[in-house]
Amino acid sequence: MSDMILLGTRKGTIIFDRVNAKWLPRPIAHAGVPVCYVARDPRDGTLWASLDHGHWGPKLSRSRDGGKTWNDITSLKYPKGARYIVKYLPTPDFNPESPSANPEYADATVFKIWNITFGNADQPSRLYAGTIPGGLFVSDDGGDSWELNRPLWNHESRGGDLFAGDATSVNLWNGTPASIDYGIFEPGIHSIIVDPRDPNHMHIAVSTAGVIETTDGGKNWHSRNHGMLNDYMPNPESEWCHDPHFVTSCPSQPDHLWQQNHFGIFYSDDGAKNWKKVSRTDLDVNFGFPIAADANDGRTAWVVPARADAERMAIDGGLFVARTTDGGQTWQTFRDGLPQENAYDIVLRHAFDVSGDCLCFGSTSGNAYLSEDRGETWQCLGNNFPPIYSVRFG
Amino acid sequence: MPSVKMTQHLYRFFPQLKDRVITVPAGSVAEILLAINEIAPGFTDYVLDEHGALRRHVNISINDSIVIDKIKLSDRTPDDGTIYIFQSLSGG
């Protein structure tokens, strides 16, 4: 069980320590700075925060003394020549006859560092970062320098080699309103899963493109969206254009993957070769953003449901957590300790985590809740935090 | 030599620029920012993106005129001019 919880919030980083069986928050770090993701590298204890400066650009911040001091790192940049096909937001005044409706290429700028993921124990200096627009950056020196994975950037699904010349095909990666704060509408990489058995085997997830797999360390990438359904599209079973909100796997049974998608909860027990929708709309267990997978049992997962699609907040004013232990065939819902009236919380994709029997989530309403019995009962960690973007056990 | 004044917001990240008169050789805005970067390494990463363009919510003026070229930063500063670097006002 972890003794540390890290919150990334609209106004900084908040770290909780477990002291004498109580969870105590430290004074806020990165005060006033939006922090979209914070996590602890289990290999060496380094803390990482993705800062979302409104004025000064996205930065990674690193602490090597357990959060006492932090240092910004500015080396995560797209290389010269990294372009992408612009997607235009289909606003009401969008004119399909206008020049902007034709393919247009833009130089890539890092708008947001959405996720930080740590390599396996046998690659102790390996780190990954997922960005908007959808770049996968890799570091092999503990974060001092970063390199864009070009095969994924130049994938045929997004137009081919955008470094070398004009794109040869259309861009099948759509944009996400999650980046609309920046006045852009670009896809982003929010989930990065490294197979504990083989560091060359990874899954990533892109909102709104889908799940993509490599088995050769990032040289080749393939869509893994078979069985996915996107009710919004003319063809719900299309190869691309899916909207995973978050994808995770069981660390000890990594062929068991879970996905909280815009269009339901999906489960795979064959390494994402096939997905199966396991939502229970009669229980309101369907829509949401985060999903957590048990470390030992691939069939066990938790979600924090919300109302799809127009409301995007707690269902009927009450927060609850749902758990399955049989691969999504049945779900139990737990409300004990969670507010059951006047709750309008939404829990974002990185704001729910599990460590052993402990679960923790935080909402954009600034509320944080903890369970120490696998989600069955909950205690409040606090109600007046800034909007919470991420929750991770340290 | 032109002098440089900036929002105190940036002193948080570059305390070596605080409480001092910053003067740099006259030149284009791009050259002036590089000169500040010599004093405070990493400074340009905060006000410019990876293409060298001014970040969207950052403003620079020469005396009381906002610079026109925010892409290549070619506006030139007179020898007795003052460069102001400031951020857009923003909400809560």
- pLDDT tens track for A109-142: 998 999 999 999 999 999 999 999 899 999 999 9
Average pLDDT score over chain A: 92
Taking the Cβ of residue B92 and every Cβ of chain A, the question of whether any pair is shorter than 8 Å is answered with no
Give the mean pLDDT of A141-149: 96
Q: Which residues in chain A touch residue B87, judged by CB atoms under 8 angstroms apart?
A: 55-56
Whether the predicted pLDDT of A103 surpasses 90: no
pLDDT tens digits along A26-35: 999 999 999 9
The residue-averaged pLDDT of A329-335 equals 98
Is the interface score ipTM higher than 0.90? Answer: no
| Three-state DSSP class for residue B71 | coil
> b/e per residue, B30-58, with b = 16+ CB within 10 A?
bebbbbbbeebeebbbbbbbbeeebbbeb
Q: Do A57 and B55 touch (CB under 8 A)?
A: yes
pLDDT of A36 over the 70 cut: yes
Q: Judge whether B79 is closer than 8 Å to chain A, CB to CB.
A: no
pLDDT tens for B28-53 read: 999 999 999 999 999 999 999 999 99
pLDDT exceeds 80 at position A166: no
Q: Which two tokens stand for residue A215?
A: 């088995």
Render pLDDT for A249-284 as a digit per residue (tens, 0 to 9): 999 999 999 999 999 999 999 999 999 999 999 999
A57-61, A89-93, A278-282, A286-290: least confident range: A89-93
**What's the CA gap between B7 and A218, in Å, rounded?**
43
In chain A, whose CA is at the least distance from the CA of B56? A55
Percent of chain A, pLDDT > 90?
A: 78
**Structure tokens belonging to residue A261:** 């998608």
What digits encode the pLDDT tens for the residues A281-295? Answer: 999 999 999 999 999
Joined together, the tokens standing for residue A299 give 């069939």
Nearest to A164 by CA among A153, A148, A176: A153
The reply to whether A22 touches chain B by the CB within 8 Å rule is no
Q: Is A11 on the interface with B (CB under 8 A)?
A: no
Chain A touched by B49 (CB under 8 Å) = yes
Contacts of B59 in chain A (CB under 8 A): none
* Cβ separation A109–B57 shorter than 8 A: no
> C-alpha B26: how far from its chain's center?
13
A195 neighbors A201 (Cβ within 8 angstroms): yes
Q: Do A55 and B49 touch (CB under 8 A)?
A: no
Chain-chain contact of B57 with A55 (C-beta, under 8 angstroms): yes
User: For residue A183, is pLDDT > 60?
Assistant: no
3-state SS string for B2-40: CEEEECHHHHHCCHHHCCCCEECCCCEHHHHHHHHHHHC
* pLDDT at residue A160 in the model: 85
Spell out which residues of chain A touch residue B49, defining contact as CB-CB under 8 Å.
57, 109-110
Secondary structure of residue A8 in the 3-state scheme? strand
Residues 91-110 of A with CB under 8 A from B: 107, 109-110
* Domain architecture of chain B: domains with CATH: 3-87 (3.10.20.30)
Rounded Cα gap, residues B7 and A11, in angstroms = 20
The DSSP secondary-structure symbol of B48 reads: B
Q: Tell me how many residue pairs between chain A and chain B have CB atoms under 8 A apart.
A: 37
For residue A304, pLDDT beyond 90 = yes
